[in-house]
Chains A and B, each alone.
Chain A
Amino acid sequence: MASVTYKNVNKSFGDVHVIHDLNIEIADGEFLVFVGPSGCGKSTSLRMLAGLEEVTSGEIWIGERMVNNVAPKDRDVAMVFQSYALYPHMTVYDNMAFGLKLRRTPKNIIDERVREAARSLGIEQLLDRKPRQLSGGQRQRVAVGRAIVREPAVFLLDEPLSNLDAKLRVEARAFISSLHQRLETTFIYVTHDQVEAMTMGTRICVLNAGYLQQIDTPFNLYHNPRNVFVAGFIGSPSMNFFDAELKEQDGSLVVETKEFRFVIPENLAEPYKQHLGKKVVLGIRPEDIHDSQFLPSNITPAQIEATVDIIEQMGNEVILYLDANDTSFIARVDPRTRARVGADMPLVVNVDNLHLFDSETELSLAYEYKQELIARERGE
């Protein structure tokens, strides 16, 4: 068990600077997820921690130890690779025992640990098989088992589920979460899938193009994205964005786009006042746009109208592709909706959940304010 710290970590491959000034503190026992689009530097960040890539500058700490110059074998980490990277010439048993054998662990302890891990993973009957005789899901379990038996200070997992089919992935997701709860060890998990990130992480670190965008709990990331990138990346379907301007009208603050005009509720207006007259990006999540006939309680409604382009039935919800004044956006509405393709339709936006970003820096205009608000609400 150990904490992990990235201090001003940079990484270049030749002239290509792929990680910029990464600063993260990961507490002991945390489940931290690196998430971001493909090529953003997630694997590189993880591999630097494992010692498979050198840092170009900065420091990486595992517990009380600066590990920049420590060989991978001495870092006390275990890693699960996307390809599983099982040793093809060894049986499942030997694959799992290999790390312990290298550490000269007594035979009876190796046997005990391998069998116990195999039992908890449901792969006992496979111990004598070679990797090529296993299915994808079984290989994935062996890869996890190989990490577990080592009882490392930190578990590193690089997209361990991306080679599984959808059903297995959901099962494996739950399994890894429960494993984390049982072992109470630090897990660092890489994925490009924001659903995986949201469901598994105690905290999520969003990366884009080698820059840390935001690191926070799934709840905060969703409700208070720090910038346009995070707002668009977290949540499915993605947040709708509109070019807008902050104005004053009859003593209230309004945000006005080409199509709509929303009055910002008094209790949320405070952080925006200083930005009056500014060009902003308005973000509205599809789930904050409702069919006006099926409104949830506890919202602050604002009427809009749009034409329905496409209807996607999901069963428990309906996704509407809408058009207002040649601006397209998406709504996620109640499954009982009577929307018809081509028809104009009255909709309601919950203005409690508007997200406003500076149109130049793309930073949220109310980040600190909302952080405090959330902390107060959740704390009480």
Chain B
Amino acid sequence: MASSDISVSTPSRFALRRAISVVAFAFLVLFALLEAVPFVLTVANSFKCLPAVQDYPQSFIPVPPFGVECRTESGASRPAEETAGPLTFNPALEGYERVAEFNLPTWFRNSIIYAVAITVLRVMFDSLAGYALARIKFPGNRLVFFIILGTMMIPGVVLLIPRFIILKQLGMLGTYQGVIFSLAADAFGVFLMKQFFESIPEEIEEAAMVDGANRLTMFFRIVLPMATPALTALTIFSFQGTWNNYMDVLIIVGGQADLWNLPLGLAQLRGQFGQTLEWNIFLAGSVITTLPLAILFFVFQRYFVEGISYTGLKG
């Protein structure tokens, strides 16, 4: 029975399975393309001359000559047909040249300062706090944890004004430390680390203690190295979150352009031109903002996937 069953149904079953996988792949490809289109257009348009940006259908294949001039000798902009066809365009550097006239290096530097400092501090504070909550029995342990957890339920916007007032009273508005300290620890990170530490078998820590380690030695030499998946996840979330942070930085540093990070600078680029937004400049700024994260992602892809699959969250 079983054998005849297989021999009869094998061809059709095989075909069915093939069909299913073809359809599934088609879907995946479709969605991947849908995800990719905005990126492709962003990058393509950042290299176009201004009138060509508004030319439809949007061209996205760069063809030589490269580095064309966007303006005629007399200074007027060249019409779209001269630099772009229906599918292809001649890349120009105008967007990047013009964006460089702004405070871009400062914004870039600030973005790095904020992201690195905040990520380092978060990794440190979140793991120490998470460990204390997971393993050290002090009175009020659970209460503290629930309060921290509770702050995760409060929408971030609600915290903007109290934070503003506190920083004002501390005289830290419009300073680096104002941005860095107010974001130096986060409830989610504490929660993430606590959950991970609780999954480490206590006997391993006890073995280290009998072996001659005190709490701190044990924490740094045994517990933290074992927590790399959680630390990786925490690093990704912190870095990415801080790099893209617009609202908190805006409230804390306000109009002080020398403390802006890239998202704030970008917003200014957009505002600068009012009705006639110069798209190629704005998109060049976007590319510069996104590129570092994208490179990080490619380089550390393997760890990111591990870390994120550990947390059970998706970015």
Tell me the A residues contacting B by CB distance below 8 Å: 50-52, 71-73, 75, 77-79, 81-83, 85-89, 98-99, 102-103, 146, 150, 156
Contact = CB atoms under 8 A, between A and B. Distances in A.
Contacts of B208: 87, 98
B75 interface: no
A150 B207 contact: no
A78 B253 CA distance: 56
A84 to B, nearest CB: 8
Ranked nearest first, the 7 interchain pairs of A and B with the lowest CB-CB distance are: A99-B211, A85-B203, A85-B207, A102-B212, A73-B212, A72-B209, A89-B225
A87 B210 contact: no
Interface in B210-266: 210-214, 217, 221-222, 225-226, 228
Given A88-B226, A89-B225, A73 B203 contact: no
A85 B204 contact: yes
A156 B217 CA distance: 22
Interface string B195-210: 0000001011011111
Contacts of A73: 209-214
Given A83-B201, A89-B225, A89-B226, A52 B212 contact: no
Given A71-B209, A81-B207, A98-B211, 20 more contacts: A51-B209, A52-B206, A52-B209, A52-B210, A72-B206, A73-B209, A75-B210, A77-B210, A78-B210, A79-B207, A85-B203, A86-B207, A88-B226, A89-B225, A99-B211, A102-B212, A102-B213, A103-B212, A146-B211, A150-B211
A131 to B, nearest CB: 10
Nearest to B211: A99
A335 B212 CA distance: 54
28 contacts: A50-B206, A50-B210, A71-B214, A72-B206, A72-B209, A73-B209, A73-B210, A77-B210, A79-B206, A79-B207, A79-B210, A81-B207, A83-B201, A85-B207, A86-B204, A86-B207, A87-B208, A87-B222, A87-B226, A88-B204, A88-B226, A89-B228, A102-B212, A103-B212, A146-B211, A150-B211, A150-B212, A156-B210
Q: Which of A83, A85, A146 has the most CB of B within 10 A?
A: A85
B203 A102 contact: no
Nearest to A100: B212
A51 B222 CA distance: 19
Contacts of B211: 73, 78, 98-99, 102, 146, 150
B204 A87 contact: yes
Contact of A102 (B201, B204, B207, B217): B217
